[in-house]
């Protein structure tokens, strides 16, 4: 470092700020301002098209607390959180370990397994809607051919099945993402650990549970947090596949918010749902982060 | 050399960001040319061509005006227009179904009053009188009826009816027998695409109308001397569920989308025998599968319910579907209205007739028997009930569609559905 101290100090104070400015402006206009304004809107009655809106006090919030559909949507969100984490994490981990151990031989699969992540969500939604279709889809004939006619179901039209049909697609879409995340971490574990473990006579399984998994604790916590937040504010795939139907069986907070704000012309109430959603996601994310930190402090 | 940042580089960075911000605001700047934006959702069959030919002829006479035509799928259009309205970016000309949603826009001063244009030279006398009921509020006209006369009727596959020796049923009991016969022969009696919810609602609307007559709904909707908890609505819900239990619809109906044409594919392939749908579908079928249209397509009105109070000649549908409105933000309303006149001038009327539609103008003489039958139905009808999801205020309409779908899914009892709708209607009124 040959720069003079004064030069260093000056660029330190102005340049970073200047570089951050575009991003900060962008964040302020497209993130902070909408959040503040939807919190404000949640206290108003507004249909979204008139020039005027009337102050409603806590009315929207009272409606929300008594709104069965909102609670049902929240419950669906929680179901998606649970299944996403319970299915995606182990499968992604398994694939990552497999690809890592397989080395060059499985290189092709590294690319192939990543394909779902490269597709746009809308395309995935349309694709699976076609596959699931009761009349023209590919899944039901396949089930019947395989001698499992009781597995030929109305996957998206049956209120009892729809949510799980969608969860399968969500997993299909996101497992590759976590797989790559885990794989990257696995590859960064020093070779020395592997050599030391094999010298001590550790089996493949022991090496995974005793060496690799503890090393992955940090990335696992990150992945779970991402999955949690993503599942709580999930929207696009559900919207394309079911629009929250049939009769709210796959309704999520985000789809319900969209319908209230844009189909029912209740922008005020839609904002109330959005604000509640924001608060729920915030609390959940902070809790998970706090727990992770506390455990790290505990361990370290 | 991490901290040695060239000052020139910083300046370029800043200018670039400013430049981006600058661009976006200048792109809307006027170039001096007048322009009209036109949205429509005539995406199937002859639809896009019908719009385009009028636009092309308009452009020949008005070369100084740019016309930007945007076609959007039906169900996507409904949300897109709402967002555009709220953001103050509405197109000059856009389609509407009239009724509650249009009224909401009118109340928000988003729609241009077309009364002066319509009364000029008595232009409005060109149209059927019934075409104005859904676009007239407080004596002012807010739309131009253009596309079609759409009535909900039961389409059927003639070949299948012939094969099983079925004649179009006159009464509801006969319809139930037809359903039974078809079901026994492994054919889905009705094709139904109920993911978007409004197709199933047609059964509910007809049952209500046949059981209680049009007043039952009108009173409940207006909250004057009636409620949605009226026994008629409960009974209609019960009958919907009876149909579902009797297997009147193909499997998976609540997950099937309408726009991609899944139900028509069921009809074409003979997997389903009937479909309760708006008569716009006959025009779509004509464009999509002329062979089926000419040889196999028939339709009959929703049958009578003997014990009901409604007149079996009553129709659910809309005369003038779709109407086109002009946004109050449109800078060129005169030109926009002139363009609309091209869309329903004699040439357009003739082309619409050829495309299998019944444009809502007086003296229209269709040459196809299908269209003649539609025209006859609407002329005989003592009352044409507009679709509930268009008639009701938007928030109530959404609840109606939800409860209707829940009835079909058997996830709500008829009583619960009636109560939910009534609560929504009452909340809206407050």
> Does residue B123 surpass a pLDDT of 80?
yes
**Tens digit of pLDDT for each residue in A57-80?**
888 999 899 998 999 999 999 999
Task: Say how far apart CA A133 and CA B195 lie, in whole Å.
Answer: 12
Residues paired with B327 in a beta bridge: B111
| pLDDT given for residue A148 in this prediction | 81
Q: For residue B413, list chain A residues with Cβ-Cβ distance below 8 A.
A: none
Shortest CB distance from B266 goes to which of A3, A135, A263?
Answer: A135
| pLDDT given for residue B12 in this prediction | 60
**Tens digit of pLDDT for each residue in B92-101?**
999 998 888 8
Q: ipTM score of the complex? A: 0.74
Q: For residue A157, list chain B residues with Cβ-Cβ distance below 8 A.
A: 194-195, 251-256
Question: If phi over 0 gives left and psi between -120 and 50 gives alpha, with beta otherwise, what is residue B66?
Answer: beta
CB contact under 8 A, B256 and A135: yes
CATH class of B35-148+320-360: alpha beta
> B149-317+386-429 domain in CATH 3.40.190.10?
yes
Mean pLDDT, range A250-279, rounded to an integer:
91
User: Do B99 and B391 contact (CB within 8 A), yes or no?
Assistant: yes
Q: For residue B256, list chain A residues with Cβ-Cβ distance below 8 A.
A: 133-135, 157
Q: Which residue has the tokens 């716009």?
A: B280
**Average per-residue pLDDT in chain A?**
86
> Does residue B407 surpass a pLDDT of 80?
yes
Task: Say how far apart CA A89 and CA B330 lie, in whole Å.
Answer: 53
Distance from the A36 Cα atom to the nearest Cα atom in chain B, whole angstroms: 18
Distance from the B368 Cα atom to the nearest Cα atom in chain A, whole angstroms: 32
Helix, strand, coil percentages for chain B (3-state, nearest 5): 50, 15, 35
Q: Which residue has the tokens 């929300």?
A: A64
Distance of CA B427 to the CA centre of its chain: 26
Task: Say how far apart CA A279 and CA A283 lie, in whole Å.
Answer: 6
Distance from the B129 Cα atom to the nearest Cα atom in chain A, whole angstroms: 30
Looking at per-residue confidence, does B72 or B32 come out higher?
Answer: B72
> Does residue B10 surpass a pLDDT of 90?
no
CB contact under 8 A, B265 and A135: yes
User: Do B4 and A11 contact (CB within 8 A), yes or no?
Assistant: yes
Q: For residue B397, list chain A residues with Cβ-Cβ distance below 8 A.
A: 264
Domains in chain A (CATH in brackets) are 1-41 (no CATH), 58-299 (1.10.3720.10)
**Tens digit of pLDDT for each residue in A75-85?**
999 999 999 99
Domain ranges in chain B are: 35-148+320-360, 149-317+386-429
SS3 A146: coil
> Does residue A300 surpass a pLDDT of 80?
no
> Does residue B23 surpass a pLDDT of 60?
no
Residue B109 forms contact with A (CB below 8 Å): yes
CB contact under 8 A, B265 and A263: no
> Does residue B30 surpass a pLDDT of 60?
no
Residue B94 forms contact with A (CB below 8 Å): no
> Does residue A1 surpass a pLDDT of 60?
no
| pLDDT given for residue A293 in this prediction | 81
Residue B347 forms contact with A (CB below 8 Å): no
SS3 B144: strand
A211 — phi, psi (to 5°)? Answer: -110, -60
**Tens digit of pLDDT for each residue in A163-218?**
999 999 999 999 999 999 999 999 888 888 888 888 888 888 888 888 888 888 88
| pLDDT given for residue A11 in this prediction | 52
Residue B205 forms contact with A (CB below 8 Å): no
**Tens digit of pLDDT for each residue in A119-149?**
899 999 999 998 988 778 888 888 888 888 7
| pLDDT given for residue B47 in this prediction | 84
Give the confidence band of A114 by pLDDT, cuts at 50, 70, 90. confident
> Does residue A25 surpass a pLDDT of 50?
yes
Which residue from A81, A72, A76 is spatially nearest to A231, judged by alpha carbons? A81
User: Do A242 and B195 contact (CB within 8 A), yes or no?
Assistant: yes
**Tens digit of pLDDT for each residue in B243-254?**
999 999 998 888
B303: Cβ contacts below 8 Å, ≥ 6 apart: B169, B170, B171, B172, B174, B175, B210, B312
CB atoms within 10 A of CB B291: 10
CB contact under 8 A, A245 and B254: yes
Give the confidence band of B304 by pLDDT, cuts at 50, 70, 90. very high
Mean pLDDT, range A76-100, rounded to an integer:
92
CB contact under 8 A, B3 and A264: no
Q: For residue A132, list chain B residues with Cβ-Cβ distance below 8 A.
A: 255
Shortest CB distance from B412 goes to which of A22, A133, A247?
Answer: A247
Distance of CA B60 to the CA centre of its chain: 31
């Amino acid at each position: 470092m040959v720069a003079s101290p004064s030069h260093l100090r000056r660029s330190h104070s102005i340049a970073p700020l200047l570089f951050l400015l575009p991003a900060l402006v962008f964040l302020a206009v497209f993130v902070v301002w909408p959040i503040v304004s939807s919190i404000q809107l949640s206290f108003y009655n507004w249909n979204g098209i008139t020039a005027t809106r009337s102050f409603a006090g806590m009315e929207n919030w009272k409606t929300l607390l008594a709104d069965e559909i909102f609670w049902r949507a929240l419950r669906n969100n929680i179901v998606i959180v649970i299944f996403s984490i319970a299915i995606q994490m182990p499968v992604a981990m398994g694939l990552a370990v497999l690809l890592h151990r397989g080395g060059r031989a499985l290189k092709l699969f590294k690319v192939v397994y990543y394909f779902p992540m490269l597709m746009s969500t809308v395309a995935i939604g349309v694709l699976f809607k076609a596959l699931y279709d009761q009349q023209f889809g590919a899944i039901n004939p396949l089930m019947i051919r395989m001698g499992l006619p009781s597995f030929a179901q109305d996957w998206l039209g049956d209120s009892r099945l729809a949510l799980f049909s969608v969860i399968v697609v969500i997993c299909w879409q996101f497992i590759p993402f976590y797989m790559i995340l885990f794989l990257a971490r696995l590859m960064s574990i020093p070779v020395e650990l592997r050599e030391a473990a094999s010298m001590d006579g550790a089996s493949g399984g022991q090496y995974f549970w005793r060496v690799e998994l503890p090393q992955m604790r940090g990335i696992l916590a990150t992945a779970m947090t991402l999955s949690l937040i993503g599942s709580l504010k999930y929207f696009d795939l559900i919207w394309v596949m079911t629009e929250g139907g049939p009769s709210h069986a796959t309704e999520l907070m985000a789809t319900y918010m969209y319908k209230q704000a844009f189909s029912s012309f209740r922008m005020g109430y839609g904002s109330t749902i959005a604000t509640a959603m924001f608060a729920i996601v915030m609390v959940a994310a902070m809790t998970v982060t706090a727990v992770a930190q506390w455990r790290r402090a505990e361990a370290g | 050399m991490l901290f040695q940042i060239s000052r020139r580089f910083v300046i370029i960075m800043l200018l670039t960001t400013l430049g981006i911000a600058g661009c976006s605001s200048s792109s809307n700047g006027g170039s001096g040319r007048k322009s009209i934006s036109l949205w429509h959702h005539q995406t199937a069959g002859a639809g896009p061509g019908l719009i385009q030919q009028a636009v092309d002829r308009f452009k020949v006479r008005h070369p100084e005006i740019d016309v930007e035509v945007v076609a959007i799928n039906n169900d996507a259009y409904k949300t897109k227009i709402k967002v555009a309205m709220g953001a103050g970016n509405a197109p000059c000309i856009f389609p509407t179904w009239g009724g509650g949603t249009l009224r909401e826009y009118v109340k928000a001063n988003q729609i241009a009053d077309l009364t002066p244009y319509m009364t000029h030279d008595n232009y409005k006398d060109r149209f059927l009188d019934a075409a104005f009921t859904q676009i007239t509020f407080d004596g002012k006209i807010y739309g131009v009826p253009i596309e079609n006369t759409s009535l909900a009727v039961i389409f059927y596959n003639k070949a299948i009816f012939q094969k099983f020796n079925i004649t179009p049923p006159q009464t509801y009991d006969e319809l139930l027998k037809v359903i039974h016969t078809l079901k026994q022969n492994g054919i889905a009696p009705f094709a139904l695409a109920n993911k978007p919810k409004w197709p199933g609602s047609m059964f509910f609307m007809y049952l209500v109308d046949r059981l209680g007559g049009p007043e039952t709904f009108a009173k409940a909707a207006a909250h004057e001397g009636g409620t949605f908890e009226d026994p008629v609505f409960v009974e209609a819900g019960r009958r919907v569920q009876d149909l579902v239990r009797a297997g009147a619809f193909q499997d998976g109906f609540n997950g099937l989308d309408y726009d991609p044409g899944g139900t028509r594919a069921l009809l074409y392939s003979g997997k389903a025998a009937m479909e309760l749908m708006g008569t716009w579908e006959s025009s779509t079928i004509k464009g999509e599968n002329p062979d089926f249209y000419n040889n196999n397509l028939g339709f009959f009105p929703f049958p009578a319910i003997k014990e009901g109070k409604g007149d079996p000649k009553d129709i659910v549908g809309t005369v003038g579907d779709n109407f086109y409105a002009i946004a109050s933000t449109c800078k060129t309303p005169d030109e926009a209205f002139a363009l609309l006149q091209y869309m329903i001038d004699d040439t357009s009327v003739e082309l619409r007739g050829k495309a299998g539609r019944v444009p809502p103008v007086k003296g229209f003489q269709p040459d196809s028997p299908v269209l003649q039958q539609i025209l006859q139905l609407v002329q005989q009808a003592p009352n044409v009930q507009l679709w509930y999801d268009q008639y009701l205020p938007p928030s109530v309409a959404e609840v109606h569609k939800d409860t209707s779908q829940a009835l079909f899914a058997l996830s709500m009892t008829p009583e619960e559905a009636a109560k939910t709708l009534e609560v929504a209607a009452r909340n809206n009124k407050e």
